[in-house]
């Protein structure tokens, strides 16, 4: 039973904003292009994607999210799952991690647990690491500390003592894989450094380099070039078994 837990601050941007921004960036199109497609599809006025990106629309209606997903080339229920945590339509596609019901009647979700103990070679990202198992958690518990869709979360067990006393070996670490940009200093990240998995604080320093920080004063900090490090996600919570 994980009965001691610790949280970092809530992330910005939201998971919905993050995936829209990433999709627009990789498409070669503009945000206005997709808003125009949405208006043509729905026969409506307005700029729903623009409203989401500037934070005016934080929880759009499912029909709006489905239409946005379709004009952006996504599976129609993808954005609904990210915002609401599960498909709302009877005919929806089955999510990657479906919501189930526990013996006491509560909703549960399965979170992928990764084995970060093995080096995967240069260029490996967090999701390249071995999947140990899928672990069921109460949906209410997960929602108590994050609104990120369960399919965008990973858990792993801490290895070693380089982050002691903040993080101990065998602590359960929660990773939000929608957050892969170093836009906040001194947060804790799940990273691959020259192919080796690590949980570290990261701090941008001069000349574009990154300082890799170990909370254990006996372990030296060191700098790396951006090309030596891949961010797999931000650590949003860790739990300790007492």
How far is it, in rounded angstroms, from Cα 32 to Cα 72?
12
**% pLDDT > 70, the chain:** 78
92 within domain boundaries: no
Strands 130-138, 107-115: pairing kind: antiparallel
| Residues with Cβ within 8 Å of residue 78, at least 6 apart in sequence | 19, 69
| Residues with Cβ within 8 Å of residue 213, at least 6 apart in sequence | 186, 200, 201, 202, 203, 221
- Mean pLDDT of the 223-237 span: 90
220 within domain boundaries: yes
Residue 95 pLDDT more than 60? no
Domain count, the chain: 2
Q: What is the pLDDT of residue 150?
A: 87
Q: What is the pLDDT of residue 99?
A: 47
93 within domain boundaries: no
Q: pLDDT confidence of 87, banded at 50, 70, 90? A: very low
- Mean pLDDT of the 51-60 span: 89
Q: What is the pLDDT of residue 178?
A: 86
What is the extent of the structural domain holding 76? 15-84
Mean pLDDT check: name the lowest of 41-55, 160-174, 189-203.
Answer: 160-174
| 174 vs 106, higher pLDDT | 174
Q: What is the pLDDT of residue 11?
A: 46
Same domain for 77 and 102? no
164 within domain boundaries: yes
Same domain for 66 and 167? no
Same domain for 124 and 201? yes
Same domain for 70 and 107? no
| 150 vs 88, higher pLDDT | 150
CATH number for the domain harbouring residue 43: 1.10.260.40
pTM of the complete model: 0.55
Asked which of 34, 61, 84 is the last residue of a domain, the reply is 84
Residue 3 pLDDT more than 60? no
**% pLDDT > 90, the chain:** 14
Q: Exposed, middle or buried, 73 (CB in 10 Å: 0-12/13-18/19+)?
A: exposed
Asked which of 59, 84, 109 is the last residue of a domain, the reply is 84
């Amino acid at each position: 039973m994980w009965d001691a837990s610790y949280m970092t601050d809530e992330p910005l941007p939201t998971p919905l904003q993050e995936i829209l921004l990433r999709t627009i960036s990789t498409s070669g199109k503009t945000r206005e292009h997709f808003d125009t497609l949405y208006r043509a599809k729905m026969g409506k006025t307005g700029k729903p994607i623009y409203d989401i990106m500037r934070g005016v629309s934080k929880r759009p209606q499912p029909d709006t999210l489905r239409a946005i997903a379709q004009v952006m080339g996504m599976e129609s229920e993808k954005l609904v799952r990210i915002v609401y945590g599960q498909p709302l339509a009877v005919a929806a596609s089955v999510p990657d991690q479906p919501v189930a019901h526990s013996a006491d009647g509560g909703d549960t979700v399965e979170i992928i647990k990764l084995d970060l103990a093995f080096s995967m070679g240069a260029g490996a990202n967090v999701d390249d690491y071995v999947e140990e198992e899928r672990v069921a958690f109460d949906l209410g518990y997960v929602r108590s500390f994050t609104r990120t869709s369960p399919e965008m979360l990973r858990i792993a067990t801490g290895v070693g003592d380089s982050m002691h006393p903040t993080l101990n070996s065998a602590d359960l670490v929660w990773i939000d894989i929608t957050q892969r940009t170093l836009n906040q200093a001194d947060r804790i990240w799940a990273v691959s450094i020259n192919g080796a998995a690590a949980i570290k604080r990261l701090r941008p320093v001069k000349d574009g380099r990154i300082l890799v920080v170990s909370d254990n004063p006996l372990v030296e900090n060191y700098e790396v070039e951006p090309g030596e490090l891949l961010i797999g996600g931000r650590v949003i919570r860790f739990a300790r078994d007492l």
